[in-house]
Amino acid sequence: MHSARQLFDSLNHDYLAVHKAKEDLFWSTYMASSDDHAGFARAELAYKTFISDPARLASVREALKELATDGASDSDLPGLRHGLQGWLALFECNIIDSDAARDLMRDLIEMESALFAKRKDLALHHISEAGVSEEATLTMLSTNIGTNPDEAARKSSHDALMGLEQWVLANGFIDIVKQRNAFARAQGFVDYFGYKVCKNEQMSSAELFLILDDFEARTRAANTRGIDQLKHQYGEYAIKPWNLRFHISGDITRQFDPYLSFAKGLQRWVDSFRRLGISYRGATLQLDLLERKGKYQNGFCHGPIPSFFNAENKWVAGQINFTAEAQPDQVGSGARAINTLFHEGGHAAHFANVTQNSPCFSQEFPPTSMAYAETQSMFCDSLLDDADWLKRYARNAAGETIPDALIQQRIATTQAFAAYAERGILVVPYFERALYQLSNEDLTAEKISALARACEQRILGIPVGPRPLLSIPHLLNQESAASYHGYLLANMAVYQTRAYFEREYGYLTDNPAIGPKLAEHYWAPGNSRSHNDTLVSLTGEAFNAKYLADSCNQTADEAWAEAKAKIAMAATREYPKLTTSNLDATIRIVHGAQILADNSESDDAMCRNFEHWIGEHYPTTHQGAALQ
């Protein structure tokens, strides 16, 4: 047992060192505060080498065999065995069995690092709402497509995304796809997509598509009705990729904008999460929320220090970074920013609350299921669409709450496209599976582009998507490539979870039982339990896609009837008083190397200072009132 204990402690210590080194360089290069891409590639390789080391796997197996025959009655034995089982799972799902595959991974990391460095220097441009050409991030392009009333300006944003897709195909992505397939085949898999599904979700590609095909069939008719309704209302031009999102929700987004200001987003996140009873257990959070040249153009949450109880049974609080990419004076930026705060803040809450005895249980990479991880974040951001949340938090600068009629108008406009929204996720795995099934000879820019358009036509029902498939940054990085289906699996679990809380308590918004329940059943086990097991633990039933499909298939009248009932119940509800004034976290709001605000005085003072900074630097933004 002594040697097993030494091995376990050594793994915990050494993993923390290699993981933090990689994550610190990930943050600095992705936030554009460092150009040390070579250093990040070396740190990434060191991390990959650690988690895929056959010698460590053999040592863990030997230690577990030793413990199985150890007759000692030491009270630490069950915990030690549990921790080593965690390491066994991590090594088994990341192991690279052959020298050839390890060489392929080494080259793949260098190829992806080179593509990322080139992508960071690529400038995209569009016509802004002010009618001028400007350099734009992916978030700015997407927001402009959804909200700008000028069609030519919207088209300029979509043209930029189409140009990005072709740039990706001309700058190394095709070779990366070939290399990923070669790497997967060197380990006995048919292709990279099948490899990633097995490693990330512990299922085969065929098993995954049994779920996805069923969901596609359940929501096909609703999607077709939505697209037909749009064409009937506005004409064929409405389904042009630069028009579709604007006609679905663009005007509503503009009307919502004064009630969801960017500057108040931080305060609303803090207030809502602490009223849900969410605690970060002493974690250190670093948030970088504003757009900046060279910064990675997609929100993410990574934890340089995973939370766990160490060998002395002392709590090691998490260190967690998350980011958004917003231009505060752009219409719709407030809604996007608060969505990111709730989404990435949900990830952070999850990883700050894993209470196992090793850091291997509290990190976002396999054997942590992407669907499991995204369930936590997507549950939190799902609250933002609830009518009672909007009535409680969405206020304009005069302190007026958002009108019921505006909520009803949004439901009437968007519910017809609920199926389309989920199929916007669904189209990605259909494309990626087909992409990795192509032969090397067929992996050409022309055939890949044609494949993307065919998948968009089949799943979305339109010739070209508002977000061309290869403009999605997830596809370019091996950690997130061939994993996008995890978002849809997660949303299925989200609606199952929401249904449980509504059955149990009758409401979600500001329900203080939610944070502790999530912490107990979903967060505390980390990846020591399967996604399905955590669902069973909380809801009492296994994974079930029915709840999401039923929501997608609701009519606007049915959805508004539910919303009205929530508003009415919330108006008479006595909410429990807060038991804490903070999130139990050390929080810094940064803009690159600049600290904009922190909570050294209090969470509320941090929010006030952030709002003041935004008001000084973006004086035209709406300053909505906070909930008293």
User: Which position has the token pair 């993981």?
Assistant: 19
Are 270 and 607 spatial neighbours (Cβ–Cβ below 8 Å)? yes
> Which pLDDT score is estimated for 299?
84
Q: pLDDT higher for 403 or 365?
A: 403
Query: Virtual CA dihedral for 331, 422, 296, 288, nearest 10 degrees?
Result: 60
619 pLDDT band, cuts 50/70/90, is confident
Model confidence pLDDT, tens digit, residues 301-354: 999 999 999 999 999 999 999 998 888 888 888 888 899 999 999 999 999 999
Is the confidence at residue 72, as pLDDT, over 80?
no
Is the confidence at residue 73, as pLDDT, over 90?
no
Q: pLDDT higher for 365 or 272?
A: 272
Nearest to 471, CA basis, from 211, 46, 97, 158: 158
Tokens (6 digits) for 336: 């996007």
Task: For Cα atoms 266, 303, 321, give the angle at the middle one, nearest 5 degrees.
Answer: 30
* Alpha-carbon distances, residue 211 vs 190, 532, 543 (angstroms): 20, 14, 11
Are 496 and 544 spatial neighbours (Cβ–Cβ below 8 Å)? yes
428 Cβ neighbours under 8 A, 6+ residues apart: 469, 472, 474, 475, 484, 485
Tokens (6 digits) for 115: 């593509």
Are 1 and 72 spatial neighbours (Cβ–Cβ below 8 Å)? yes
- Give the chain's mean pLDDT: 94
Average pLDDT (206-217) is 95
Q: Domain extents for the chain? A: 2-95
Strand partners, 302: 321
Q: What percent of the chain has pLDDT over 90?
A: 86
CA dist., res. 621 & res. 442, Å (int): 49
Whole-prediction pTM: 0.89
Q: What percent of the chain has pLDDT over 70?
A: 98
Number of other CB atoms surrounding residue 470 within 10 Å = 23
Q: Please spell the DSSP secondary structure of 352-364, one letter per residue.
A: HS--SSSGGGSSS
> Which pLDDT score is estimated for 537?
98
Tokens (6 digits) for 39: 């250093």
Average pLDDT (116-128) is 94
Nearest to 282, CA basis, from 311, 312, 322, 309: 309
What region does 462 belong to: left with phi over 0, alpha with psi -120 to 50, or beta?
Answer: beta
250 pLDDT band, cuts 50/70/90, is low
Tokens (6 digits) for 65: 């065999």
- Give the three-state DSSP class for 126: strand
Q: Which helix (H) or strand (E) holds 502?
A: helix 485-505
- Give the three-state DSSP class for 308: strand
Rounded to 5 degrees, φ, ψ at 297 are: -95, 50
Tokens (6 digits) for 3: 């040697």
Rounded to 5 degrees, φ, ψ at 510 are: 60, 30
Residues of 578-612 as b/e, b for ≥16 C-beta within 10 angstroms? eeeebbebbbbbbbeeeebbbbeeebeebbbbbbe
> Which pLDDT score is estimated for 628?
45
Tokens (6 digits) for 311: 């060998």
> Which pLDDT score is estimated for 579?
75
Task: For Cα atoms 439, 440, 444, give the angle at the middle one, nearest 5 degrees.
Answer: 105
179 pLDDT band, cuts 50/70/90, is very high
Strand partners, 320: 285
Model confidence pLDDT, tens digit, residues 259-310: 999 999 999 999 999 999 999 999 999 999 998 888 887 889 999 999 999 9
Tokens (6 digits) for 82: 């549990």
Residues of 179-213 as b/e, b for ≥16 C-beta within 10 angstroms? bbbbbbbbbebebbbbbbbbbbbbbebeebbebbe
Model confidence pLDDT, tens digit, residues 384-400: 999 999 999 999 999 99
Is the confidence at residue 1, as pLDDT, over 70?
no
CA dist., res. 108 & res. 467, Å (int): 26
> Which pLDDT score is estimated for 621?
60
530 Cβ neighbours under 8 A, 6+ residues apart: 202, 369, 372
Strands 300-305 and 283-290: unpaired
User: Which position has the token pair 């059943």?
Assistant: 521
Determine the residue type at 245. R
> Which pLDDT score is estimated for 271?
96
Read off the DSSP letter of residue 248: I
Are 205 and 437 spatial neighbours (Cβ–Cβ below 8 Å)? no
Is the confidence at residue 494, as pLDDT, over 60?
yes
Average pLDDT (456-461) is 98
First-residue to last-residue Cα distance in the chain = 57
Number of other CB atoms surrounding residue 17 within 10 Å = 11
CA dist., res. 262 & res. 396, Å (int): 11
CA dist., res. 303 & res. 362, Å (int): 9
> Which pLDDT score is estimated for 569?
96
- How many residues are given for the chain? 628
Are 68 and 2 spatial neighbours (Cβ–Cβ below 8 Å)? no
Note if the bond before 367 is cis, omega within 30 degrees: yes
Rounded to 5 degrees, φ, ψ at 191 are: -160, 175
409 Cβ neighbours under 8 A, 6+ residues apart: 252, 255
Strands 283-290 and 319-326: parallel
Tokens (6 digits) for 417: 């496209």
* Alpha-carbon distances, residue 532 vs 35, 215, 366, 368 (angstroms): 41, 18, 16, 12
Strand partners, 315: 309
CA dist., res. 419 & res. 224, Å (int): 9
User: Which position has the token pair 């065999």?
Assistant: 65
Is the confidence at residue 221, as pLDDT, over 50?
yes
User: Which position has the token pair 């080259």?
Assistant: 107
Average pLDDT (360-372) is 93
